């Protein structure tokens, strides 16, 4: 039997539960602060409920799920009769339920593997319960393909679309040079030429600075840098003639998961350092870290996602894995055909 506790803010969750939740999210984010920041930076009209699941014999979380209730601009979808019944204000409470965890890159929920089946069944019950609520006029469900198949009882989807999530690169080589040697010859040649172009011909140096960094200017606030320092983060730089062309934030996670987020500072069309070299510098650092086991690339604090499958080969030829998410949308309102 699965037991669930509900919380309406991440800050309400008992501190003793957080390490277990972080383990569930270990391949999504480096630490719990990442999803707290996403919640705290969301619109005030977005109302969250978090579901923390427990097994029958333990008092530590074995699963985690999330729904966001987003206000629907009802004035855009009222029928003529509803507009005439001006005394009825029910429409001011209309909400769209968005089912996903931290942007939906793992779908609706995460469970320990041995509780996966019973946990998914419990999550489906919760979704059915929300379907009966009068204020819920639309549902946007993000499904991890091949694992999740949540649906509604009394509605059919009106929209389904796919996106692709960049998963990790597992460490299969002892060194960066060994990693390069495992790639296809044309990819090896391309990457080595890129390194020579920026380092030998371009005069670019790479830097590696544990936080806090002194005598270096970065376009980040002191508060942001202090927060990163509290995570044990490192800043990796591309520098030329004492100017920082861009950097990568490296944040260690749990069980060897290591996260990198590129921050190019150059104008896109004229950049000395290409996007590809930010990825390569991340992989160079990753292979240099004995404790690192999986390399993750972030953008805006979350995993990279793509709507165009044609963008994936850039990463897959370098060894990164991918997964597919289906976003399925249900609506009770005429005219509301896409998520708000």
* Predicted confidence (pLDDT) at residue 81 exceeds the cutoff of 70: no
224-249 residue pLDDT tens:
999 999 999 999 999 999 899 999 99
Which residue blocks in 149-303 are alpha helix, DSSP H? Answer: 176-182, 185-195, 222-230, 275-288
Which pLDDT does position 89 carry in this prediction? 62
pLDDT grade for 201, boundaries at 50, 70 and 90? confident
- Please tell me the distance from the alpha carbon of residue 77 to that of residue 85, in angstroms, as a whole number: 14
Residue 335 vs residues 9, 67, 93, 152, 332: alpha-carbon distances, Å = 32, 23, 18, 20, 9
Arithmetic mean of pLDDT, 194-203: 90
Q: What pTM does this model have?
A: 0.91
How many CB atoms are located within 10 Å of the residue 190 CB? 13
pLDDT digits (tens, 9 = 90+) for 252-274: 999 999 999 999 999 877 889 99
CA dist 179 to 74, 284, 292, Å? Answer: 54, 9, 14
Q: Is the dihedral of CA 296, 22, 58, 100 positive or negative?
A: negative
Contacts of 46 (CB under 8 A, 6+ apart): 68, 69, 70, 71
Q: How confident is the model at residue 71 (pLDDT cuts 50, 70, 90)?
A: very high
**pLDDT for res 86:** 59
Write phi, then psi, for 235 (nearest 5 degrees): -110, 125
Average of per-residue pLDDT values in the chain:
92
> pLDDT band at residue 182, thresholds of 50, 70 and 90?
very high
Burial of 185 (0-12, 13-18, 19+ CB in 10 A): exposed
Return the minimum-mean-pLDDT range out of 170-174, 214-218, 327-331: 214-218
For the beta carbon of residue 10, count every other beta carbon within 10 angstroms: 19
- Chain CA centroid to CA 209, Å: 25
Confidence of residue 197 (pLDDT cuts 50, 70, 90): very high
């Amino acid at each position: 039997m699965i037991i669930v506790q509900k919380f309406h803010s991440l800050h309400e969750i008992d501190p003793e539960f957080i390490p277990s939740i972080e383990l569930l999210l270990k391949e999504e984010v480096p630490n719990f602060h990442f999803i707290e920041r996403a919640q705290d930076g969301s619109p005030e009209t977005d109302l969250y409920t978090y579901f923390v699941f427990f097994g029958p014999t333990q008092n530590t979380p074995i699963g985690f799920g999330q729904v966001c209730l987003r206000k629907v601009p009802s004035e855009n979808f009222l029928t003529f009769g509803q507009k005439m019944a001006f005394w009825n204000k029910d429409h001011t409470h209309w909400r769209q339920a968005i089912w996903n965890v931290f942007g939906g890159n793992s779908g609706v929920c995460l469970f320990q593997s041995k509780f996966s089946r019973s946990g998914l069944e419990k999550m489906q019950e919760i979704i059915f319960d929300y379907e009966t609520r009068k204020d819920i006029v639309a549902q946007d469900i993000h499904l991890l393909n091949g694992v999740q198949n949540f649906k509604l009882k009394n509605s059919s989807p009106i929209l389904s679309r796919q996106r692709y999530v960049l998963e990790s690169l597992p460490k299969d080589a002892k060194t960066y040079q060994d990693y390069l040697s495992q790639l296809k010859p044309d990819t090896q040649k391309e990457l080595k030429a890129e390194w020579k172009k920026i380092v030998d011909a371009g005069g670019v140096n790479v830097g590696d600075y544990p936080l806090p960094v002194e005598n270096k200017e970065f376009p980040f606030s002191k508060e942001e840098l202090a927060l990163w320092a509290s995570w044990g983060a490192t800043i990796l730089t591309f520098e030329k003639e004492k100017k920082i062309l861009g950097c990568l934030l490296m944040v260690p996670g749990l069980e060897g998961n290591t996260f990198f987020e590129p921050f190019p500072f150059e104008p896109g069309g004229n950049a000395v350092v290409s996007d590809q070299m930010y990825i390569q510098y991340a992989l160079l650092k990753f292979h240099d870290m004995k404790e690192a086991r999986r390399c993750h690339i972030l953008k805006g604090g979350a995993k990279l996602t793509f709507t165009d499958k044609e963008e994936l080969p850039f990463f897959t030829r370098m060894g990164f894995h991918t997964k597919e998410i289906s976003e399925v949308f249900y609506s009770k309102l005429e005219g509301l055909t896409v998520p708000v």
